[in-house]
Amino acid sequence: MKRRNLIKSLSILPFTAAVPTQLFSKPEVSASNVIDGENIFRSLGVEPLINCRGTFTIIGGSIERPEVREAMEAAAHNFVQYDELADAVHAKIAEITKADWALVSAGCAAAMKHVTAACVTGGNPEKLIAIPNLTGFEKTEVIIPRGSRNVYDHSIRNIGVTIIDVNTPEELVKAVNKKTAMIYIMADDPAKNDEPLSLVNIVRLTKEQNIPILVDAAAEVLTIPNIHLERGAHMVAYSGGKAICGPQCAGFVIGEKDILMSAWQSSSPHHGPCRDNKVGREEMLGMLAAVKAWTTRDHKKEWQTWLSWLDLISKKVTSIAGISTKVIEPTEYSNRSPILRITWDPAKFNITGEEVAEEFGRKKPRIAVGGFSKDNQTGITITTGQMQAGEAAVVAERVYAFMSQTRTAKNNDMQAPTVNVTGNWKFDIQFFSSKSVHHLNLSQEGNWLQGSHKGEFSTRDCAGTIDGNQIKLRSQEVQVADRITFIFSGTVEGNTMSGNIHMGEYRTATFTATKLDSKKPHQKVFVPQGPPLST
């Protein structure tokens, strides 16, 4: 098929009508063979949940729109030359978004990696295959304002560049030099252009040097014409699995064609440092379908539907005396979705919002909600953007039934400690496939513990409790753009203890610990009376 005909066909949705079904034999295994009831996840023993949190990747991101699923299904039935497909899809997305060019990637983080590679290599394949060894490269540095450092900038660091943090406009001007490959910034609010390191000011301060600027707008709604490109950015990256409701394993960048063509060169199916970030023909067409659908969706109607769901839930739960609600309608571009804030007095209901969120998230019907406690108020938040039709009634009933229950006040008193853990402890930690030795120095005051935790690369504070012989400790490894929380829980028996370490998204490790003999022999200190007479 000629490219112009391919582009023409991509503008017509759904795609499935063009597939000659007679070419494919009927599958022996139908969906009903693997689906338990109406949900395929239960056939694997995994209980699905109602998403009242938003577009978090760890619970699935967003629900793909029907147009996206149809496009991906259609793409699965034919072979195609990827560069030809990419040129066609990228041109079409650029046309729709009124941008110079586009790039479909395996998510927003992958897009950041591809663009960084492009800015470092300039589209030179010899440089591309040398990454991450940048010896001899002219462009080896990426400037990031400290406020834009985040866990996703690992994608940029993976190319091997040196990250230059800046905190002020003066530091930015000083940091720009012939080694600067790119400036990366998290999307900022156009209403705050006067901020010292706003996109507008960064553009003004670096305009003469013409440094490429990449804006990370992963969770933002798509604006056409693009607000960030209009303010001077060279490229803007989006996640496919967030507001746009495209393929969860895809994203896209819009911006300058020469840089994005170099970025595509670094992407699979081409070989090099970004081959691992593969995007298939299915995701390419799915992403195009999502962008096209964005321009035809009735966003005002969607918003009103979301508000009606929150109204249904609010009316149900506020029939309980002592429950209050408030609807929040965000106006910023990122994570734009109405939110219902449900609050109560924890002393009256004898439960906190965090405890309710934990209960809802673990037991059927599973519902992911936010939990919070602040200023003698506690509660949960319900975000509607990824809720599906019919789920509001389920959520309303679940909250109502649970909060209507009578609960007695908890006895928060801890048992007297049966052991004293003051001293130095050697912790042998078992991760999934390796072991590590950490050291904790603890000081005990009744039930309360505090001290230090020496990990692989740093020493940080830790604190916790001892309840009888049950110990709980918490510490946090904090680095620029990253943090790992260690929550120790276990049993102490004399000079030993054992248990688990809960590390959030990094799952759970186990530990055994031994108390070290920290007694040192008594020794007097001799103080010389003058300078040394020998060295």
- 288: exposed, middle or buried (C-beta count within 10 Å: 0-12, 13-18, 19+)? buried
Note whether residue 311 is domain-resident.
yes
- Tell me: do 320 and 394 sit in the same domain: yes
Note whether residue 524 is domain-resident.
no
Q: What is the pLDDT of residue 64?
A: 95
For residue 288, the Cα-to-chain-centroid distance in whole angstroms is 23
Boundary-marking domain end, from 369, 403, 437: 403
Share of the chain above pLDDT 70, in %: 93
Q: What's the pLDDT tens digit per position in 15-32?
A: 333 333 333 333 343 334
- HSE, CB side, 13 Å, CA atoms: give it for residue 21: 6
Note whether residue 385 is domain-resident.
yes
The strand pairing partners of 476, in sequence order, are 485
- Tell me: do 286 and 306 sit in the same domain: no
Q: What range does the domain containing 472 cover? A: 423-515
- Please count the other Cβ atoms lying within 10 Å of the Cβ belonging to residue 401: 10
Q: What is the pLDDT of residue 292?
A: 98
Is 13's pLDDT higher than 70? no
Q: What's the pLDDT tens digit per position in 79-88?
A: 999 999 999 9
CATH code of the domain containing 477: 2.40.128.120
Note whether residue 65 is domain-resident.
yes
E strands, 110-269, are 141-145, 162-166, 180-186, 213-216, 235-239, 251-255
Q: What's the pLDDT tens digit per position in 188-215?
A: 999 888 999 999 999 999 999 999 999 9
Mean pLDDT confidence for 58-66 = 94
- Please count the other Cβ atoms lying within 10 Å of the Cβ belonging to residue 338: 21
Residue 519 pLDDT grade (very low, low, confident, very high; cuts 50, 70, 90): confident
- Tell me: do 509 and 458 sit in the same domain: yes
Mean pLDDT confidence for 347-368 = 96
- Tell me: do 387 and 267 sit in the same domain: no
E strands, 49-128, are 50-51, 101-105
In the chain, how many domains are there?
A: 3
- Spell out the residues 6+ positions from residue 526 whose beta carbon is closer than 8 angstroms to its own: none
Boundary-marking domain end, from 257, 277, 294: 294
Q: What is the pLDDT of residue 167?
A: 96
- Tell me: do 123 and 216 sit in the same domain: yes
- Tell me: do 242 and 264 sit in the same domain: yes
CATH code of the domain containing 168: 3.40.640.10
Write the CA distances from 201 to 124, 168, 232, integer angstroms. 31, 11, 10
Q: Are 79 and 105 in contact (CB under 8 A)?
A: no
Q: What is the pLDDT of residue 37?
A: 52
Residue 410 pLDDT grade (very low, low, confident, very high; cuts 50, 70, 90): confident
Is 373's pLDDT higher than 60? yes
The strand pairing partners of 514, in sequence order, are 426, 496
- Tell me: do 62 and 151 sit in the same domain: yes
Write the CA distances from 478 to 33, 161, 174, 460, integer angstroms. 47, 21, 27, 9
Q: What is the pLDDT of residue 303?
A: 97
CATH code of the domain containing 348: 3.90.1150.110
Q: What is the pLDDT of residue 180?
A: 98
- Tell me: do 10 and 145 sit in the same domain: yes
Cα 365 to Cα 394: distance, rounded to the nearest angstrom:
8
Note whether residue 522 is domain-resident.
no
Note whether residue 250 is domain-resident.
yes
Q: What's the pLDDT tens digit per position in 101-131?
A: 999 999 999 999 999 999 999 999 999 999 9
Decide the pairing of beta strands 482-493 and 324-328: unpaired
Note whether residue 532 is domain-resident.
no
- Tell me: do 305 and 441 sit in the same domain: no
Is 312's pLDDT higher than 50? yes
Q: Helix or strand or coil: residue 213?
A: strand
- Tell me: do 184 and 230 sit in the same domain: yes
Q: What is the mean pLDDT of the chain?
A: 92
- Tell me: do 19 and 122 sit in the same domain: yes
- Tell me: do 344 and 427 sit in the same domain: no
Is 7's pLDDT higher than 90? no
Boundary-marking domain end, from 294, 313, 342: 294
Nearest of 286, 242, 256, 384 to residue 327 by alpha carbon = 384
Note whether residue 471 is domain-resident.
yes
